Amino acid sequence: PLRLRRSRRGALACAAALTQDELKKEAAWKAVDYVESGMVLGLGTGSTAAFAVERIGNLLKDGTLKDIVGVPTSVRTYEQAKGLGIPLATLDEQPNIDLAIDGADEVDPNLDVVKGRGGALLREKMVEMASKKFVCIVDETKLVAGLGGSQDAMPVEIVQFCWKYNLQRLQNLPEVSGCEAKLRMDGDKPYVTDNSNYIVDLYFKNPIKDAHAAAKAMEGMEGIVDHGLFLDMVDVCIIAGKGGVEVKE
Ligand code: 5RP
């Protein structure tokens, strides 16, 4: 949407269309409307979730929110939330989460999503599965007709042990046929997750035919820790786009 902004001379000027970051912030702030004092919150990871964490921290500071406990989904989010003074706990300490807010990499029309391009998929899935409500926040660039359709990575977290063996097995899995599997790198070394695992990114030429079948097949493979398909998990999806903010349930 176009914003009206005060110019230096005090007149109302029409600002340019919102940037992608501003859209992410709009979705994040809308999600924070679901937060109530006393809640245990799952705190997501990524640039969109970071706007929500920042907002929660500021509302705690100014007294609008009270008695919040956050359960972070990554070391990165733990550090951000700690810096903002948000009281924190682990899933061991707070296994019943009222509400989780997190971004996504792809969202399909059923609100099934791909997550984990930021590398936090395992903790995100654990925290979001433990949440009564999962609010997913995205800008409209994340919308796809079918998962895998963005032609960008669908991450799979694997153990380090014999990673080439598991990369090959993933690539040859009939349920994800036609994908190209690549070990995620961090410079010249493999990328290591917060849980000391590696990530194999799957790249699809076409959307995955049956995401449930693909998820099930990967879950049955020893050495595969988790995958970025978050199916039947999202309760509310907040999508910020040029035409405004849409809430889908
Ligand atoms: C991290 C994630 C993120 O939520 C996802 O990658 C979206 O990130 P961003 O909001 O920066 O686009 O799953 O593991």
Condensed to tens digits (0 to 9), the pLDDT of residues 126-174 reads: 999 999 999 999 999 999 999 998 889 999 999 999 999 999 999 999 9
| 64 against 15, higher pLDDT | 64
* Distance in Å, CA 82 to ligand 1 centroid: 20
pTM, to two decimals: 0.91
- Per-residue pLDDT at 220: 86
Q: Could you tell me which of 128, 105, 114, 144 has the C-alpha nearest to residue 230?
A: 114
Query: In which band, very low, low, confident or very high, does the pLDDT at 177 lie, cut at 50, 70 and 90?
Result: confident
Query: How many CB atoms neighbour CB 225 within 10 A?
Result: 18
Q: Which residues are catalytic?
A: 124
Per-residue model confidence (pLDDT) at position 162: 97
Distance 5 CA to ligand 1 centre (A): 29
Could you tell me whether strands 236-241 and 229-230 are parallel, antiparallel, or unpaired per DSSP bridges? unpaired
Check whether 7 has a pLDDT greater than 80: no
User: Which pLDDT belongs to residue 16?
Assistant: 59
Q: Determine the pLDDT at residue 116.
A: 96
Interval 73-97: pLDDT, tens: 999 999 999 999 999 999 999 999 9
Select from 47, 54, 117 the residue to mutate for testing ligand 1; criterion: most ligand atoms less than 8 Å from CB. 117
Cα separation of 192 and 190, whole Å?
6
Q: Which of 22, 43, 45, 226 most suits a substitution to test ligand 1, by most atoms within 8 Å of the C-beta?
A: 45
Average pLDDT, the chain: 92
DSSP string, 4-67: EEE-TTS-EEEPPPPPHHHHHHHHHHHHHTT--TT-EEEE--SHHHHHHHHHHHHHHHTTSS-S
Beta bridge partners of 139: 240
Handedness of CA 166, 170, 171, 174 (dihedral sign): positive
Torsion sign across C-alpha atoms 192, 195, 200, 203: negative
> Tens digits of per-residue pLDDT, 188-222?
999 999 999 999 999 998 899 999 999 999 998 99
Report which ligand 1 atom has the smallest distance to the Cα of 24.
10
Structure tokens at 38: 């006393």
* Element at 181 (helix H, strand E): strand 180-183
Q: What is the pLDDT of residues 12-56, one digit of tens each?
A: 433 458 899 999 999 999 999 999 999 999 999 999 999 999 999
What's the confidence (pLDDT) of residue 151? 86
- Mean pLDDT, residues 240-246 taken together: 93
Atom index in ligand 1 nearest the CA of residue 50 equals 10
Q: 6 C-alpha to center of ligand 1: Å?
A: 33
Residue given tokens 């035919």 in the structure block: 209
DSSP secondary structure, 98-162, as one string: EEEEE--SEE-TTS-EE--TTS-HHHHHHHHHTEEEEEEEEEGGGB-SSTTTTSS-EEEEE-STT
For ligand 1, residues with CB inside 6 Å are: 44-49, 102-105, 115-121, 124
Q: Is the dihedral of CA 225, 229, 235, 238 positive or negative?
A: positive
Tell me how far the alpha carbon of residue 44 lies from the centroid of ligand 1, in angstroms: 8
Please report the atom of ligand 1 found closest to the CA of residue 120: 14
Per-residue pLDDT band for 6 (boundaries 50, 70, 90) equals: very low
